[in-house]
């Protein structure tokens, strides 16, 4: 076993040998009293510190309106980290980490508050952590522009900087509500900072298995030759959730599943599955190829939406033997709402590799189980040898990439059942992250925050990709505008969605492959 471990060590190809180390930095979190800071950001920063991935000199400022001081905010964050951290909090590690936490009380629209913030983060005693400044906007998108302008006017964010200095603006999704608002937001941001300074964060791209898609595709010679229209019949991308909208009813009334999940998460995964090999592993080469994929997707015009897109909304039902209310009965939801909690769509990519291969995407709330996976289904072999015995029952070969939970990859193929009869049964070869590596899998925000600190934009969304995604979604929303949901568009909680979604695939000779835990 020791020899095998030594061999494994020799075989490891270290792609991150040129990765920059984290230099001293100052991180300012706007919206420090919010849910995101408590549930994700501070636990992620604590984990990075506990694993010695942060420099010795760094500061984290929480900016919010509520009256607090350093000690009270540290105490709140300790409770949050203890509750949401994936690993137990070590007291000694926390005490050291807490010494880097500071609270700043101020109003987001108060210019004087930003002047005081500037004096604090650029104080002479703050060297060298003041050279690398990150401003994390964990607030409503409507406040992005205001905060950016205030930071610019205060002299801590701009398109110019001294030698060895960096200024970065990290913004959370959603990046606009449609193409017009996304363009407006991008224009506001690039007026005060270069595009390379803006890090649009979407936690989904920080998931370990999502990152592994590129490695799986381009480092394995047995798969890359098959990754095209000659071999692949169709692709399914599923992101299902057992939970309903819960306390997010107000948000969902304005967003809906198309804006909340399809425009970002699902299209981002599609771009990784369908992209061409980049010329190198640098950030811009990878992001260039992802944008090319989105631009190659055939637009769905409003008049074409009915034949290519299905929407749905959950009604009362049962999940895990627990009764669930209908979406229209959720808190802060209009009792006559037509907002979609489910979307399924068929997309075609008009390029040489994928011509004629449909990509089926779906997402929904209150479905049978929570899972996220990609299924690449291959074309069937000619039914010459096994037509008499199997006919259409011969199972299709497929690769399934499970993004969550139980992250891993499986290969489905046909094998003969032992015995004298010629019986064929589909079998699985499974790769499990937990089973193979058995190690701690970092939370998405750990990877993304560290990348922002070192200035690596690979896993962040560029403005042209945001706009390309919205240009695909806007015609669909236009088709739904003013159209009430039909009876066939409602689905019972605990099911796999409306029957219309099954009919969408059946019309093209396909069927959904539902995730199984």
Q: Residue 20 — very low, low, confident or very high, per pLDDT cuts 50/70/90?
A: low
pLDDT top residue among 390 and 284: 284
Residue range 33-41: average pLDDT? 90
Distance CA 116, CA 19 (A): 35
* pLDDT > 70: percent of the chain: 91
CA proximity to 266, closest of 347, 186, 339, 181: 347
pLDDT exceeds 90 at position 387 = no
pLDDT at 99: 93
pLDDT digits (tens, 9 = 90+) for 287-303: 999 999 999 999 999 99
For the chain, how are helix, strand and coil distributed in percent, rounded to 5?
Answer: 40, 20, 35
Q: Is 139 within 8 Å of 147 (Cβ atoms)?
A: yes
Q: At what angle do helices 91-98 and 70-84 cross, to 10 degrees?
A: 140
pLDDT exceeds 60 at position 425 = yes
Distance CA 49, CA 55 (A): 8
Residue 73 CA, chain-centre distance (Å), reads: 29
pLDDT at 163: 44
Distance CA 406, CA 152 (A): 44
pLDDT exceeds 80 at position 114 = yes
Of how many residues is the chain composed?
517
Q: What structural domains does the chain harbor? A: 19-172 (3.40.50.720), 206-379+458-506 (3.30.360.10)
The set of catalytic residues is 265
Asked if the bond preceding 405 is cis, omega within 30° of 0, the reply is yes
* pLDDT > 90: percent of the chain: 58
Element (H, E) at 130: none
Distance CA 517, CA 456 (A): 34
Instruction: Tell which phi-psi region holds residue 443, choosing left (phi > 0), alpha (psi between -120 and 50) or beta.
Output: beta
Residue range 199-224: average pLDDT? 84
Residue range 152-175: average pLDDT? 78
Q: Residue 468 — very low, low, confident or very high, per pLDDT cuts 50/70/90?
A: very high
Residue range 131-141: average pLDDT? 90
Q: Residue 261 — very low, low, confident or very high, per pLDDT cuts 50/70/90?
A: very high
pLDDT at 14: 58
> CA 496, 259, 268, 287: dihedral to nearest 10 degrees?
180
pLDDT exceeds 50 at position 1 = no
Q: Is 168 within 8 Å of 189 (Cβ atoms)?
A: no
Q: Residue 231 — very low, low, confident or very high, per pLDDT cuts 50/70/90?
A: very high
Torsional sign, CA 432, 433, 439, 444: negative
Distance CA 511, CA 501 (A): 9
Residue 439 burial (CB count, 10 A)? 8
Distance CA 174, CA 257 (A): 12
Distance CA 350, CA 297 (A): 6
Full DSSP string of 171-187:
EESP--SSHHHHHHHHH
Q: At what angle do helices 42-50 and 444-454 cross, to 10 degrees?
A: 80
pLDDT at 276: 94
Average pLDDT over the chain, rounded to whole? 88
Partners of residue 232 on adjacent β-strands:
378
């Amino acid at each position: 076993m020791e020899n095998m471990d030594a061999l494994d060590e020799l075989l490891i190809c270290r792609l991150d040998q040129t990765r920059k180390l984290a230099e001293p930095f100052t991180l300012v979190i706007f919206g420090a009293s919010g849910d995101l800071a408590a549930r994700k950001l501070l636990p992620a920063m604590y984990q990075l510190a506990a694993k010695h991935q942060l420099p010795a000199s760094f500061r984290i400022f929480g900016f919010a309106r509520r009256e607090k001081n350093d000690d009270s905010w540290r105490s709140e964050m300790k409770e949050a980290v203890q509750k949401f951290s994936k690993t137990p909090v070590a007291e000694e590690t926390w005490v050291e980490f807490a010494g880097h936490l500071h609270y700043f009380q101020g109003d987001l629209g108060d210019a004087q508050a930003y002047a005081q913030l500037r004096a604090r983060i650029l104080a002479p005693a703050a060297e060298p952590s003041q050279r690398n400044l990150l401003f994390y906007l964990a607030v409503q998108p409507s406040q992005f522009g205001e905060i950016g302008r205030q930071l610019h006017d205060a002299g801590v964010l701009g398109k110019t900087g001294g030698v060895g200095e960096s200024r970065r603006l990290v913004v959370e999704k959603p990046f606009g509500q449609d193409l017009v608002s996304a363009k407006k937001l991008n224009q506001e941001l690039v007026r005060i900072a270069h595009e390379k300074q803006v890090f649009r964060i979407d936690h989904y791209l920080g998931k370990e298995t999502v990152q592994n898609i590129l490695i799986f595709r381009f480092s394995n010679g047995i798969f890359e030759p098959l990754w095209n229209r000659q071999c692949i019949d169709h692709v399914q991308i599923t992101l299902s959730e057992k939970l309903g909208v819960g306390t997010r009813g107000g948000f969902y009334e304005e967003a809906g599943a198309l804006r909340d999940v399809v425009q970002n998460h699902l299209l981002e995964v599609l771009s990784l599955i369908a992209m061409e090999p980049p010329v190198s592993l640098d950030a811009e080469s990878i992001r260039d190829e992802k944008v090319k994929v989105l631009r190659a997707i055939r637009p769905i015009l409003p008049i074409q939406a009915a034949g290519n897109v299905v929407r749905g909304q959950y009604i009362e039902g049962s999940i895990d033997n627990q009764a669930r209310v209908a979406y229209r009965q959720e808190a802060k939801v209009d009792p006559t709402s037509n907002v979609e909690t489910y979307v399924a769509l068929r997309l075609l990519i008009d390029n040489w590799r994928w011509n004629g291969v449909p990509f089926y995407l779906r997402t929904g709330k209150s479905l049978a189980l929570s899972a996220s996976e990609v299924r690449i289904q291959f074309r069937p072999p000619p039914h010459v040898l096994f037509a008499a015995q199997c006919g259409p029952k011969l199972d299709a070969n497929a690769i399934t990439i499970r993004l969550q939970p139980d992250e891993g990859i499986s290969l489905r193929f046909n094998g003969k059942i032992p015995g004298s009869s010629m019986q064929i049964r589909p079998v699985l070869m499974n790769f499990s992250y937990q089973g193979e590596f058995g190690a701690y899998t970092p939370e998405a925000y750990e990877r993304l925050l560290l990348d922002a600190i070192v200035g690596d934009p690979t896993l962040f969304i560029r403005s042209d990709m945001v706009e390309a995604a919205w240009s695909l979604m806007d015609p669909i929303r236009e088709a739904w505008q003013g159209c009430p949901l039909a009876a066939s568009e409602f689905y019972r909680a605990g099911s796999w969605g409306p029957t219309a979604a099954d009919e969408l695939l059946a019309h093209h000779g396909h069927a959904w492959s539902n995730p199984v835990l």
